[in-house]
């Protein structure tokens, strides 16, 4: 009798150990997203919503869109790409690295100035005033590309204006968040940022609109990378983003298409 009970006990313990071992070997699904740094707040919120609903670990990689393109090309890994401008999806699409994309919202460049606008910046052309200190994104990120195009349009209106404005740029930043930080800390008189970023910090900065005739409004896409090792999960996030995610972006001041 004792031997029978002992044998049953051994079998039960073995089953428990096997079950624990089986569970420990189950790795939770992981989704890797590349996202433009200026969209960190809404993306963080959407990622948490997705994790809660599907039990999936979402890893977000934030940087300037151009730097993310270089990383994707070098590693050939990741699942979803959300850059600050469609042009960066186009770069990857030409190399066969995009399986699907949709444009879902817009990035509107504005001039952010410290609260109270001490330098008296009321238009884009005021950035050419002598002594004005400007923070701008570098040419590898979406806001830097936008500024380059705005300057080209402004040059056609007022020849010579682009050189004067470029002369006043005292710092080039790798992300739009860094540009905004320079403005909020009053280290510069103005910075070219996205409207959504300025709206998020309206208690610390004022917004100066850029005239539509020279502005360069960007279209933001979400794309599934063809190198995704879990395309079904990537597609699930893609659909989630285009439904529930849009509401989050609207909350943060984006103009959803």
Query: Which contacts (CB < 8 Å, 24+ apart) does range 154-159 have?
Result: 154/124, 154/125, 154/214, 157/213, 157/214, 158/125
Task: Tell me the residue range of the domain where 228 lies.
Answer: 30-106+219-256
CA 72/CA 95 separation, integer angstroms: 11
Based on the fold, state whether residues 95 and 158 are members of the same structural domain. no
Q: What is the CATH number of the domain that holds 75?
A: 3.40.190.10
- Total domains in the chain come to 2
Q: What is the mean pLDDT of the chain?
A: 90
Same domain, 204 and 113: yes
| 191, pLDDT greater than 90 | yes
Q: In this predicted structure, what is the pLDDT of residue 256?
A: 83
Instruction: State pTM to two decimals.
Output: 0.79
Are 120 and 174 members of one domain? yes
* Mean pLDDT confidence for 226-252: 94
Up-side HSE of residue 122: CA atoms within 13 Å toward CB? 1
Are residues 195 and 137 both part of a single domain?
A: yes
Q: Do residue 164 and residue 246 come from a single domain?
A: no
The answer to whether residues 204 and 114 belong to one domain is yes
131: left (phi over 0), alpha (psi -120 to 50) or beta: left
Statement to judge: residues 75 and 98 lie in one domain: yes
Q: Using a pLDDT cut of 90, give the percent of the chain over it.
A: 82
pLDDT tens, position by position, 221-234:
999 999 999 999 99
Same-domain status, 113 and 202: yes
Residues 123, 80 within the same domain: no
Q: Which structure tokens are listed for 75?
A: 């590693």
Clarify whether residues 136 and 88 are in a common domain: no
Same-domain check for residues 225 and 201? no
Q: CA 16 from chain center: how many Å? A: 45
Six-digit token string for 18 = 């096997």
134-159 pLDDT, tens per residue? 999 999 999 999 999 999 999 999 99
pLDDT digits (tens, 9 = 90+) for 48-73: 999 999 999 999 999 999 999 999 99
Residue 21 lies in a domain: no
Quickly list DSSP for 220-247.
EEEEEETT-S-HHHHHHHHHHIIIIIHH
Burial (Cβ within 10 Å: 0-12, 13-18, ≥19) of residue 213 = exposed
């Amino acid at each position: 009798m004792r031997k029978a009970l002992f044998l049953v006990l051994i079998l039960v313990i073995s089953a428990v150990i096997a079950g624990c071992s089986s569970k420990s070997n189950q790795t939770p699904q992981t989704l890797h997203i590349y996202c433009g740094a200026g969209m960190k707040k809404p993306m963080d919120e959407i990622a948490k919503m997705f994790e809660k609903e599907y039990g999936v670990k979402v890893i977000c990689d934030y940087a300037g869109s151009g730097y993310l393109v270089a990383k994707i090309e070098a590693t050939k890994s990741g699942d979803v790409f959300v850059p600050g401008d469609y042009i960066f999806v186009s770069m990857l699409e030409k190399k066969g690295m995009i399986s699907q994309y949709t444009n879902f919202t817009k990035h509107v460049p504005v001039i952010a100035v410290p609260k109270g606008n001490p330098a008296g910046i009321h238009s884009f052309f005021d950035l050419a005033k002598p002594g004005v200190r400007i923070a701008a994104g570098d040419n590898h990120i979406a806001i830097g590309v936008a500024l380059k195009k705005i300057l080209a349009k402004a040059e056609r209106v007022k020849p010579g204006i682009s050189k004067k404005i470029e002369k006043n740029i005292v710092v080039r930043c790798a992300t739009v968040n860094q540009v905004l930080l320079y403005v909020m800390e009053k280290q510069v008189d103005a910075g070219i940022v996205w409207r959504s970023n300025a709206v998020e910090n309206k208690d610390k900065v004022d917004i100066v609109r850029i005239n539509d005739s020279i502005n360069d409004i960007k279209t933001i896409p979400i794309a599934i990378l063809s190198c995704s090792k879990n395309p079904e999960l990537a597609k699930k996030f893609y659909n989630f983003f285009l439904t529930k995610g849009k509401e989050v972006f609207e909350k943060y001041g984006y103009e959803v298409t």
